[in-house]
Structures are given as structure tokens and as C-alpha cells.
């Protein structure tokens, strides 16, 4: 293992002690970053102000970067002598939901909330870059740092590649990313071999029917009933198509159709995802 990876691994292993030993000013700065990002969430493909804030922080550190690499993607290099190229990545986008946590730093944008931890990811990403830049004597190599737009809808990485990420920058020897985990206690880091979290494929199904009055369903083709059957039967992909020794999840997170209770609509759109830790999502 290279000295650079040993340093990174050591940082991870000693993270609780390392964060506690941070100067008070550095802790206060990172907390301010987190609060700002949490209060100002932006949805997928709309992260213009988030990207601007991150770039201002990168400027303060003294790093150079390319922007945009499709959507609001950011990428740059922190070079520090010979050694491996490590890609360090964060996501940026928020979820389309209202915050009802009641915390003092709650989201200031209606219909958007950092409910998936991307505000934390960005804060740690900046904190690691600040630390590596200030302690260059402790490691050797290069860091390709990437801030990814539109992760929640699966578009940001694709746009980044289409806009020449690996034509502008070297391909990494290793890729480092992490995700917060609501089931782990605070100040705890979870590490495991193999799959840690699920890979995800997103699908949208449009169920078309023939609408009409709810009192005369025999004259319609009811897409609501068809969509309901699809939602239920999708679960058999896991229960009857996947090996019992492999894990998988099928989730229908949203379904849209109709306007009133007594009219059968012309179409219904269930939005669903398939997530698994098996070969189906390599």
C-alpha cells in the first residue's frame, strides 16, 4: 500500500480523535459551512449557488478547478509530488421535500431539503481538502477532487464523463467516497469489505388507459388499477426472481395520476427504483 493510502487510511481510523484535535477555529469554520449548505439546498441540476459556494471555499484553500463539467459539476487537482491519483468525490443536490425538523438552521427554501446528507458530504470533502493542502509534507500523490451535480436523479456523473472529466484529468488509481448512515451512532465510522451500500437503477413507467367517469368503469381502461397491480407485482422481482442468498430492494417512491375521486384518469405514472448489492447492479 502506498504511503498516501496509508495516510488516508490512518486519517479515517483516527477520525474521531482527529476531529476533536482540530483547532477551535477550524471546527467553527466547518460547522458554519455545514449550516450554510443545509440552509440553502438546491435540487438536482439546479445547484448553481451551491457550486458557487463550494468554489469560493476552494478559492480560499488555494485550489484550482474546472467548472462546469456538465450541469454544475466541479473537478480539480491537488498535486503533491509522485504517487497515486486518488479521486475524492462529494455529491451536492438536495431532495424535493419540505423540512420539518425544527432545527434552528432549517432549510430556507420551500420544497427542498438536505435530507440525504449531501450537506455533510460537502463539508467533509472541503475539510479533507483543507487538511491535505495544509499538511502536504505528510503525503505524496495527487487528489482529483470532484463535486457531483444531480446525484439523486443519476445524471451528474454521466454528464461529467460526457464533458471530458478523464480527458481533462488523469484517471484515478483509487476512488474514495463515503455516505452518512442514519443507523450508526454519531462519531462512528462503518467499514466493511465488499458491498457497503446498494447500487441503484431508476425507472419511470407511464401507464396509459382510457379515462372516463368513475360510475361507468366498464367504458374505461383504468390506469389506476393497472398501476396498483404493477406496484404490487414489482415486489416479486425480489421475492421470486432474486436468489434468497442475494439482497435486493424494489421501491416505488411516488405515483402520480388523476385529479378528483370520481373520474378515472387517462394515465398514471409510478416512479420506482431497483436497488441491490448483487451482480445485477454492477
Which pLDDT score is estimated for 77?
97
Instruction: Compute the distance between CA of residue 34 and CA of residue 121 in angstroms, rounded to an integer.
Output: 9
| Opening angle at CA 160, ends 128 and 30, nearest 5 | 20
Instruction: Compute the distance between CA of residue 113 and CA of residue 110 in angstroms, rounded to an integer.
Output: 8
Q: What is the pTM of this model?
A: 0.81
Count H helices, E strands: the chain?
9, 10
Q: What is the DSSP track for 63-127?
A: ---B--SSTT-EEEEEEESSS-EEEEEEE---BSS---S--TT--SSTT-B--SSHHHHHHHHHH
Which pLDDT score is estimated for 28?
93
Which pLDDT score is estimated for 21?
66
Which pLDDT score is estimated for 277?
43
Which pLDDT score is estimated for 13?
45
Which pLDDT score is estimated for 20?
57
Instruction: Compute the distance between CA of residue 22 and CA of residue 1 in angstroms, rounded to an integer.
Output: 27
Which pLDDT score is estimated for 272?
58
Which pLDDT score is estimated for 264?
94
- Cβ burial, residue 38 (10 Å; 0-12/13-18/19+): buried
Instruction: Compute the distance between CA of residue 127 and CA of residue 64 in angstroms, rounded to an integer.
Output: 16
Query: Strand, coil or helix: what is 152?
Result: coil
Which pLDDT score is estimated for 200?
76
Query: Strand, coil or helix: what is 136?
Result: helix
Which candidate, 203, 218, 223, places its Cα nearest to that of 267?
223
Q: What is the mean pLDDT of each run of 10 residues along the chain (282 residues)?
A: 46 48 87 97 97 98 96 97 95 96 96 96 95 93 97 91 96 88 84 73 89 96 95 92 89 90 92 50 30
Helix axes 48-61, 24-39, angle to 10 degrees: 160
Q: Which domains does the chain possess? A: 3-176 (3.40.630.10), 199-281 (3.30.70.360)
Which candidate, 181, 201, 198, 200, places its Cα nearest to that of 247?
198
Amino acid at each position: 500500500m502506498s504511503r498516501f493510502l496509508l495516510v488516508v487510511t490512518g486519517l479515517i481510523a483516527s477520525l474521531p480523535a482527529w476531529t476533536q484535535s482540530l483547532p477551535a477555529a477550524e471546527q467553527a469554520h466547518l460547522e458554519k459551512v455545514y449550516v450554510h449548505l443545509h440552509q440553502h439546498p438546491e435540487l438536482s441540476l439546479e445547484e448553481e449557488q451551491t457550486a458557487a459556494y463550494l468554489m469560493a471555499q476552494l478559492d480560499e484553500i488555494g485550489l484550482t478547478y474546472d467548472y462546469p463539467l456538465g450541469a454544475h459539476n466541479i473537478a480539480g487537482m491537488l498535486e503533491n509530488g509522485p504517487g497515486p491519483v486518488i479521486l475524492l468525490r462529494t455529491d451536492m443536490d438536495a431532495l424535493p421535500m419540505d423540512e420539518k425538523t425544527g432545527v434552528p438552521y432549517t432549510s430556507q427554501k420551500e420544497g427542498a431539503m438536505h435530507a440525504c446528507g449531501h450537506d455533510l458530504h460537502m463539508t467533509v470533502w472541503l475539510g479533507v481538502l483543507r487538511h491535505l493542502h495544509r499538511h502536504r509534507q505528510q503525503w505524496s500523490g495527487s487528489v482529483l477532487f470532484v463535486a457531483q451535480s444531480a446525484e439523486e436523479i443519476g445524471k451528474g456523473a454521466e454528464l461529467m464523463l460526457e464533458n471530458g472529466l478523464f480527458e481533462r484529468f488523469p484517471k484515478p488509481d483509487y476512488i474514495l467516497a463515503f455516505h452518512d448512515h442514519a443507523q450508526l451512532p454519531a462519531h462512528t465510522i462503518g467499514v466493511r469489505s465488499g458491498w457497503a451500500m446498494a447500487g441503484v437503477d431508476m425507472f419511470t413507467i407511464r401507464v396509459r388507459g382510457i379515462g372516463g367517469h368513475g360510475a361507468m368503469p366498464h367504458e374505461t381502461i383504468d390506469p389506476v388499477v393497472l398501476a396498483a397491480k404493477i406496484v404490487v407485482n414489482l415486489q416479486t422481482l425480489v421475492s421470486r426472481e432474486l436468489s434468497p442468498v442475494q439482497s435486493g430492494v424494489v421501491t416505488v417512491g411516488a405515483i402520480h395520476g388523476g385529479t378528483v375521486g370520481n373520474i378515472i384518469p387517462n394515465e398514471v405514472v409510478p416512479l420506482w427504483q431497483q436497488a441491490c448489492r448483487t451482480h445485477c447492479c454492477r
